[in-house]
């Protein structure tokens, strides 16, 4: 048993012991149940209950492991590395909490949004696909089996293509957006599974902890290096890493509003977690190949994304599309934190994942409310809505300030820590001082495009024929929950920061010697 982690052990006798698998099983069972019942009235309550249960489970597991513990669950009594293992530590528990929190908070918003944007006959299909996407994202984060990651990745991806395509009821371009996403997603999944095949050929195992042990024992041969390259390209497509991001703007712009909210806050975060897990827990950054890849390739691409995507966002005339390009820039910040290869940098990346999920979820909710009332998100359509929809726009302002990184908001904390991480490495090379300056300058570009949106909402004259009124309560409540989170975590930083530190430490320690083989199947 590992010295680097305290393994939380139980006997498989209580419901609590099965939490790692129930996290995934509850929404997975709910999806076909919604289809079998075929009731539009029951679809939303079932989806909401399943999401709320997943949220409670993720919170309980995070409390269990946040001090350095670990929860494992072996499927069917087959001990790892032969059997499939679910493994939850501080890092993936943190991401599981984000996914389940967003999934639960967005569903009330989706109830109002879907009624306006989706034909009623398709609501059952929408909620079933939503649950499958939710299941896939949770599964790829919770599992400790490399091939299982691919399986859950495909579950989430296939359902996402359908969810994006359902935006065709409002704009036919959603079909081409879904098709482009399908092509790019398939290429990414193919690269990823080829990388897994190379790892399996080199190590003879698919359990990620066992894989890490064997790579450490035998060293980095050419097959293992090639596997790393394929996995990074595959997950880079899913993360929307520059220049593999071309699918994202159209998918976010033309998908139904609630789908955009959910995907922007969760999908790229889950993919980034998988990238971090393979980089740090399987390959371990002590290996020169992984280190050079991150510092020589990822850092330049991350900085380019921070500036180029922000620059493009400045010139957008569609609020939704502007936020989509902003997401590409924010992914750059997260990848930069990962590539710095320090505790502080990885802490900033993990913290920014969570904060950006709250912030971008809030902003896309605001756009969805404008789409509902103004029938679109072009600046000409939402002009002056700050005066007609003050409660909605107040929440959007909070989200915009957090996106910029204004002190007192959640976005400031993670960007500040990212600057600290770059400055920590400045004595090594002047490049890292330049990176710290780049973080600040790129945030100033965010000021430009966020201010432009505020100017349109408050200072532009509204359409005299507009009959827009405040968004419905089912939309306002989720928006202000996330807005409250952006403010709360901007001042009360201890819980999130400490958990992110623990998660970063766990990832940087790697998983060498951490394979847990229980005496019996069940939870440990």
What is the model's pLDDT at position 72? Answer: 81
Closest CA to 131 of 30, 33, 37, 58: 30
φ, ψ (nearest 5 deg) of residue 401: -65, -40
What is the model's pLDDT at position 365? Answer: 93
> Hey, where are the domains in the chain?
296-491
3-state secondary structure of 395: helix
Is 250 in contact with 105 (CB distance < 8 Å)? Answer: no
Residue 470 region, left (φ>0) first, then alpha (ψ -120 to 50), else beta? beta
3-state secondary structure of 244: coil
For residues 352-367, give the mean pLDDT. 92
Residue that has been written with the tokens 């958990």 in this structure: 499
Q: Is the pLDDT of residue 521 over 70?
A: no
What is the model's pLDDT at position 286? Answer: 61
What is the model's pLDDT at position 194? Answer: 94
Residue 20: which pLDDT band, with cuts at 50, 70 and 90?
confident
Q: Is the pLDDT of residue 6 over 50?
A: no
3-state helix, strand, coil in the chain (%, to 5): 75, 5, 20
What is the per-residue pLDDT across 100-111, written as a single tens digit (0 to 9) for each?
999 999 999 998
**141 or 516, which is more confident:** 141
What is the model's pLDDT at position 406? Answer: 87
Residue 214: which pLDDT band, with cuts at 50, 70 and 90?
confident
What is the model's pLDDT at position 4? Answer: 40
Range list of β-strands (E), 75-181: 85-88
| Strand bridging mode 85-88 / 6-7 | unpaired
Q: Is the pLDDT of residue 66 over 80?
A: no
Residue that has been written with the tokens 């994006």 in this structure: 164
Residue 240: which pLDDT band, with cuts at 50, 70 and 90?
confident
What is the per-residue pLDDT across 391-433, written as a single tens digit (0 to 9) for each?
999 999 999 999 998 888 888 888 889 998 888 888 777 788 8
Residue that has been written with the tokens 């020169």 in this structure: 288
φ, ψ (nearest 5 deg) of residue 74: -100, 130
Is 405 in contact with 447 (CB distance < 8 Å)? Answer: no
Query: Which of 12-16, 121-125, 315-319, 490-494 is modeled with the greatest confidence?
Result: 315-319
3-state secondary structure of 380: helix
Residue 287: which pLDDT band, with cuts at 50, 70 and 90?
low
Mean pLDDT is lowest, of 70-79, 127-136, 266-275, for 70-79
d(CA 299, CA 389): 41
Residue 8: which pLDDT band, with cuts at 50, 70 and 90?
very low
What is the per-residue pLDDT across 291-326, written as a single tens digit (0 to 9) for each?
777 778 888 999 999 999 999 999 988 999 999 999
Q: Is the dihedral of CA 355, 361, 367, 369 positive or negative?
A: negative
User: Cis peptide before 167, with omega less than 30 degrees from 0?
Assistant: no
**510 or 28, which is more confident:** 28
Is 107 in contact with 262 (CB distance < 8 Å)? Answer: no
Mean pLDDT is lowest, of 101-110, 380-389, 493-502, for 493-502
For residues 54-82, give the mean pLDDT. 81
φ, ψ (nearest 5 deg) of residue 124: -60, -45
Measured from the Cβ of residue 33, the count of other Cβ atoms closer than 10 Å reads 16
Token digits of residue 141: 């984060």
What is the per-residue pLDDT across 118-149, written as a single tens digit (0 to 9) for each?
888 888 888 999 999 999 999 999 888 888 89
Q: Is the pLDDT of residue 522 over 60?
A: no
What is the model's pLDDT at position 518? Answer: 43
d(CA 410, CA 513): 36
One-character DSSP codes across 19-40: HHHHHHHHHHHHHHHHHHH--H
Residue 363: which pLDDT band, with cuts at 50, 70 and 90?
very high
Per the prediction, the chain carries an average pLDDT of 85
């Amino acid at each position: 048993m590992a010295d680097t982690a305290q393994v939380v052990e139980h006997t498989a006798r209580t419901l609590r012991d099965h939490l790692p698998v129930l996290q995934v099983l509850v929404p997975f069972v709910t999806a076909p149940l919604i289809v079998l019942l075929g009731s539009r009235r029951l679809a939303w309550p079932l989806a909401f209950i399943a999401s709320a249960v997943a949220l409670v489970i993720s919170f309980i597991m995070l409390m269990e492991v946040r001090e350095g513990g670990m929860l494992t669950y072996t499927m069917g009594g087959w001990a790892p590395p032969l059997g499939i293992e679910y493994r939850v530590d501080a890092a993936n528990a943190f991401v599981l909490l984000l996914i389940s929190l967003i999934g639960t908070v967005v569903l009330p918003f989706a109830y109002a949004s879907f009624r306006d944007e989706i034909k009623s006959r398709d609501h059952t299909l929408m909620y079933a696909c939503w649950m499958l996407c939710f299941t896939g994202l949770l599964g790829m984060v919770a599992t400790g089996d490399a091939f299982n990651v691919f399986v859950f990745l495909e579950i989430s991806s296939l359902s996402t293509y359908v969810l994006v395509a359902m935006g065709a009821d409002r704009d036919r371009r959603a079909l081409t957006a879904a098709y482009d996403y399908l092509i790019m997603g398939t290429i990414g999944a193919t690269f990823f599974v080829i990388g897994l095949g190379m790892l399996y050929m080199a190590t003879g195992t698919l359990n990620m902890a066992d894989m890490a042990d064997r790579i450490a024992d035998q060293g980095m041969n050419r097959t293992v290096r090639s596997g790393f390259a394929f996995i990074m390209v595959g997950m880079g497509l899913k993360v929307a890493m520059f220049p593999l991001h071309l699918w994202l703007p159209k998918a976010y712009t033309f998908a139904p509003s609630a789908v955009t909210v959910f995907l922007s806050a969760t999908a790229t975060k889950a993919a980034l977690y998988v990238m971090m897990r393979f980089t740090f827990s399987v390959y371990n950054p002590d290996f020169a190949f992984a280190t050079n890849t991150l510092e020589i390739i990822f850092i330049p691409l991350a900085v380019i994304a921070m500036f180029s995507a922000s620059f493009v966002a400045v010139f957008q005339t569609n609020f939704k599309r502007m936020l989509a390009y902003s997401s590409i820039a924010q992914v750059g910040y997260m990848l930069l934190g990962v590539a710095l290869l320090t505790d502080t940098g990885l802490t900033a990346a993990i913290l920014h994942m969570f904060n950006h999920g709250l912030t971008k979820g809030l902003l896309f909710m605001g756009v969805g409310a404008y789409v509902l009332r103004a029938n679109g998100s072009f600046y000409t359509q939402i002009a002056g809505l700050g005066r007609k929809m003050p409660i909605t726009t107040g929440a959007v302002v909070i989200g915009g300030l957090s996106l910029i990184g204004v002190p007192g908001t959640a976005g400031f904390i993670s960007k500040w820590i990212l600057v600290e991480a770059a400055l920590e490495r400045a004595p090594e090379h002047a490049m890292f001082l330049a990176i710290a300056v780049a973080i600040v300058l790129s945030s100033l570009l965010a000021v430009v495009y966020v201010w432009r949106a505020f100017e349109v909402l408050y200072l532009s004259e509204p359409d005299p024929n507009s009959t827009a009124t405040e968004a419905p309560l089912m939309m306002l409540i989720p928006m202000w929950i996330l807005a409250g989170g952006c403010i709360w975590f901007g001042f009360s930083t201890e819980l999130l920061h400490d958990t992110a530190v623990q998660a970063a430490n766990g990832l940087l320690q790697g998983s060498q010697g951490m394979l847990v083989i229980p005496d019996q199947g069940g939870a440990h």
